[in-house]
Amino acid sequence: MTKTRILAALVMAPAVIAAVLLLPTGWLMLLSAVVFLAALWEWLRLADVEDALSRTILLACNLALMVALVWGSRSPHAGALPLFQLAVVLGVVWWLLALLWLRHYDFASRHDGNARVFKLAAGTAAVVPAWCALAVIHSSEPHGHRWLLLALLLVWAADSGAYFAGRKFGGRWFAGRKLAPRISPNKTLEGLIGGVALAMLVAVVGALVIGTPAAQLPAVILVAIFTVLFSVAGDLFESLLKRHVGMKDSGHLIPGHGGVLDRIDSVLAALPVFALGKIWLGF
């Protein structure tokens, strides 16, 4: 399984990097919409929507929302995406609310209509703003494509750092306390610290490579910290949904990695936070 995961990652990572660095924003938005909607398809299954026709209709509604945002953000000024920026803010608000949801494990855990409505709304609130954030970051000037790549690298670094730090130091520093034992028993506080530490190193190096002035590095580091912490929340939230329905993976599309949602759950939470921080602090 590990070999399969590594081989799949070696294929996916260069493809993502090439798309971010080489494609114009419009084409990247189109390609990423396909990926994000595929993740939403799996989210709908986690929300107990088993009927394929119902899931197709719900997916079409979210696609229509994306199209409406593009149409409403038309502007003669290149890179001006006002509705997308509003969606980014709403996305961050949603993930703040998701933190409360994570604290109340049993909320919307029943397989009834009310729980399904909450999870369907959560799917739209997670996927659409993340897609908007991707467009906002990539279209920003200067070097928007590099900043988007850095945002993704932060998530990947945090995930890798958490994995190796958790295996090496898990249970040693905090008397065996887990990060969220009911949701993801394998995640440790030591792993979280290791993930944040590696991501901060990537943030500093990446910002310097992009050409960020030294005076702006503290702002980049601050945004990177919140980006990583929210990426962990995104991972935990998908784990919560999977535990509610008793599933190990959101899908089986990617060999060794599960579904599309399993691969981008952290990204969904990270991108709006990074985009808002970048806009707010002006780097």
Q: Could you give the 3-state DSSP secondary structure of residue 110?
A: coil
Q: How does pLDDT run across 31-49, given as a tens digit for each residue?
A: 999 999 999 999 999 999 9
Token pair for 203:
């943030």
pLDDT of residue 128: 98
pLDDT of residue 1: 46
Dist CA 227 CA 274 (whole Å): 6
Q: How does pLDDT run across 154-212, given as a tens digit for each residue?
A: 999 999 999 999 888 877 888 778 899 899 988 999 999 999 999 999 999 999 999 99
In Å, what is the CA distance from 60 to each residue of 25, 37, 161, 256? 22, 9, 37, 29
Dist CA 9 CA 19 (whole Å): 15
Q: Which pairs count as long-range contacts for 64-71, CB under 8 Å and 24+ apart, including other chains?
A: 65/124, 65/128, 66/33, 66/128, 66/131, 69/128, 69/132, 70/29
Domain ranges of the chain: 2-281
Global pTM reads 0.94
Q: Where are the alpha helices (DSSP H) in the chain?
A: 2-22, 25-46, 52-72, 82-103, 113-139, 144-169, 189-210, 217-245, 260-281
The pLDDT of 99-113, averaged and rounded, is 89
Mean predicted lDDT score pLDDT of the chain = 92
DSSP lists the bridge partners of residue 184 as: 180
pLDDT of residue 252: 76
pLDDT of residue 76: 61
pLDDT of residue 250: 86
For residue 70, pLDDT over 90 is answered with: yes
Token pair for 73:
């953000």
